[in-house]
Amino acid sequence: MIRSAVLSRSKLMKLLFPLVLGIPAVSAAAPVLYDDSHPNWYYDGTWGPNTGVSGAIYGTQHLTNVTGSSASVWCLATSYDTAHFTYYFTSAYNRGRARIQLLEESAGLVIYDTVVDLYAPGVNRQQSVTFNIPYGGYGYGILIFPEGTKNDASVNTFIDIDAVQCY
């Protein structure tokens, strides 16, 4: 049996999609870390970039408690038809709840939605939550924004972004 050297349209689009977005093409097996200061992040609203943050990835993080602010980054889907990513943040006494949404690439429709409580009694850097969501698209967006709510023990509603790692 002779295999065809012609790529199917879907495989070709999977290879070209990151280039359209300006993302360097990488193997689906190679994780890509998007630190909060990476140029592929898009911040909307009021975010405070912090530098020199001891314990944060690359010493930086973006912080907000302003409802209506949002941040997004786009990733490639894996060859296993999943949206697999890890969100890194700081849990602390002044943290609120972050809403995480997964967007499909063609129209930006929300295909997954959850809320993560970032509260902890102390300051803990590089905390993470990992998502592995079935998804057959070529790429997906991750949208993060403050829910505007908090744990009763928290003193504020800040959320932060240290990084997102796409697998």
Average pLDDT of the chain to the nearest whole number: 86
- In this prediction the pTM is 0.82
Average pLDDT over residues 18-25: 48
Q: Which of 53, 77, 88 is nearest to 133 (CA)?
A: 77
User: Ranked by mean pLDDT, which of 3-12, 47-56, 131-140 comes out on top?
Assistant: 47-56
Domain ranges, ordered by start, for the chain: 30-166
Q: What is the pLDDT of residues 25-80, one digit of tens each?
A: 444 458 999 999 999 999 999 999 999 999 999 999 999 999 999 999 999 877 67
Q: Look up the CATH superfamily of 30-166.
A: Galactose-binding domain-like (2.60.120.260)
C-beta atoms surrounding 146 within 10 Å: 26
Alpha-carbon distances of 85 from 16, 24, 52, 156, rounded to whole Å: 20, 17, 25, 27
